[in-house]
A and B are shown apart, each in its own frame.
Chain A
Amino acid sequence: MIDPILTVRDLTVTFPDDNGGLEALDGATFSVYPQEFVCLLGPSGSGKSTLLRILAGLLAPTSGTFTYIAGPPRIGMVFQQANLMPWRTVRENITLPLELEGVPALEADRRAEDLIDLVGLQGFEHTWPRDLSGGMAQRVAIARALVHDPDILLLDEPFGSLDALTRERMWAELSHVWQVRRKTVLMVTHSIGESLFLADRVLVMSQRPGRIKLDLAVDLPRPRADEMRYTAAFGKLARQLKDAIGFPTGIGSDSRSVLDTRY
């Protein structure tokens, strides 16, 4: 059996507040394996972002451990907002992680160009972020997260701010990028449809304080096309996720409405 690239054990976070502290995470435990695409699904406020921030080294847990197999990893992070530097052009934004590592400019530009091709932004290399659409900006953010060849991608609702149509196009693109680059991905999402479209495995978090409530393998064949969501297998998985989250399902709900629900 392969060793997990990331092992998370009993992570607990308590934010100080006026009445004894606010528990955001309560003993989250799971593993992520190399080249796996894992989605983290859970209700709002269940501590998904908090968990991701810990794994990115932005926040120290109150207790518990997380271990990357090969020591401190290179991290590629994508946030809910594209989070580009407005004073850098598309290409300059993408080369940022390489600059920080001291990669020579010529080499950095070459690697940025590869990614610009991969995410389909040819011709926009020298565009300022203010002139990009939401979907284009998010693609720049994904390219930036990939450019330094990270050990793990941490995505926090990267498509949350996009309209439904663009979001679905981005799913296809992300899954394409993931298949080309074969990265380990941990992605937070609100959407059952999104998680089933992208993930090998879905972790469902409980209401706050967050714990891993369900660890569901998604064995749908790839590449996953739009039609897949009308299959029985998809519907069954969606139902399992929905039950785990604890969202009331009506009698008349079919796989379609499951998909369109953001919870």
Chain B
Amino acid sequence: MDLKALLKTARIPRRSPSWTMLVSLAAALLAWELVSRYAGLPAFILPSPGWVVVRFWRALTGGSLLLHTGVTLLEVLLGLLAGTASAVGLGYAVAKSRLFERLVAPYLVATQAIPIVAIAPLLVIWFGPGMFSKVLICALIVFFPVLVNTVVGVRAVPRSLRDLMVSLRARRGQILGKLEVPAALPILLGGLRIGATLSVIGAVVGELVGADRGLGFLINAARGQYDTALVFVAVFVLIALALTLYGLVSFMETKFLRWQETNLK
């Protein structure tokens, strides 16, 4: 396949001008405020935006929100790291060897077929309600998309560039570092972008199943006390986390993939 064509499909969409985003955000907030004020819903069903902000401030200064956010963030990052590292390693081996691919493919597909939500309780039973079981769930959920993208990325390295490297008598490590990594990077980062948001989901699922800390735990606890505003706070913090991670990967893409940007005049 032509690398250029492939890269075009993997290209990052241009961010739309920020003022349109602000307008739509303001409209959504306004709609929410109006509904909560005039629909006659009690605050434990739909708290107003103002009340959520107040609750946010209290949770923040009360000290517990930072702790729970930190725990979840750590789980997400460790899981992302572990899942990405193992997926890239295994994906590289799969991409390089058809035999190895045939050996492990059934298991890889099987792991993907297991719904993570279904085995999360099992993992919590086995590995306890601490952080480790959450990190494991994050790693598992991140694993597959990153693996697939690694395989696709490494397989997309043009044969002609390999020939070039061999004709220049490049060593294995040089082919890896100067050809395979940069050529696979756009697709790999695409996988990482998906993985980053999935990792947040993994952590929350794990925490909802059984935990004593983290934003998922906070949601459970707040729900038990009909503190719906706090549930909203936790959800918004989760959204912010996912968006930040997504933005971080996008930033890496613009930084490392300058060479494939088109000249939009």
Task: Name A residues whose Cβ lies closer than 8 Å to a Cβ of B.
Answer: 53, 56-58, 72, 75, 77, 79, 81, 83, 85-89, 96-97, 99-100, 128-131, 148, 154
Contact = CB atoms under 8 A, between A and B. Distances in A.
Interface string B67-81: 000000000000000
Contact of B168 (A89, A96, A129): A96
B166 A57 contact: yes
A56 B179 CA distance: 19
B168 A100 contact: yes
B94 to A, nearest CB: 24
Given A79-B160, A85-B182, A87-B259, A100 B169 contact: yes
Contact of B166 (A58, A88, A99, A128): A58
B178 A96 contact: yes
Interface in B23-55: none
Main secondary structure of the interface of A (DSSP, over half): loop
Main secondary structure of the interface of B (DSSP, over half): helix
Contacts of A57: 166-167, 169
Top 6 closest A-B pairs, CB basis? Answer: A56-B167, A77-B167, A87-B259, A87-B182, A83-B160, A128-B259
Contacts of A129: 259
A83 B161 contact: yes
Given A96-B168, A97-B168, A85 B160 contact: no
B179 A85 contact: yes
B4 interface: yes
B178 A100 contact: yes
A190 to B, nearest CB: 19
Contact of A79 (B164, B165, B170, B262): B164
B165 to A, nearest CB: 8
A75 B179 contact: no
A148 B167 CA distance: 12
A131 B4 contact: no
Contacts of B169: 57, 72, 75, 100
B182 A58 contact: no
Contact of B3 (A86, A89, A100, A131): A86
Contact of A83 (B164, B260, B263): B164
Nearest to A80: B160
A128 B262 CA distance: 11
Nearest to B163: A58
12 contacts: A56-B163, A57-B167, A79-B163, A81-B160, A86-B3, A86-B4, A87-B257, A87-B260, A99-B178, A100-B169, A100-B171, A131-B263
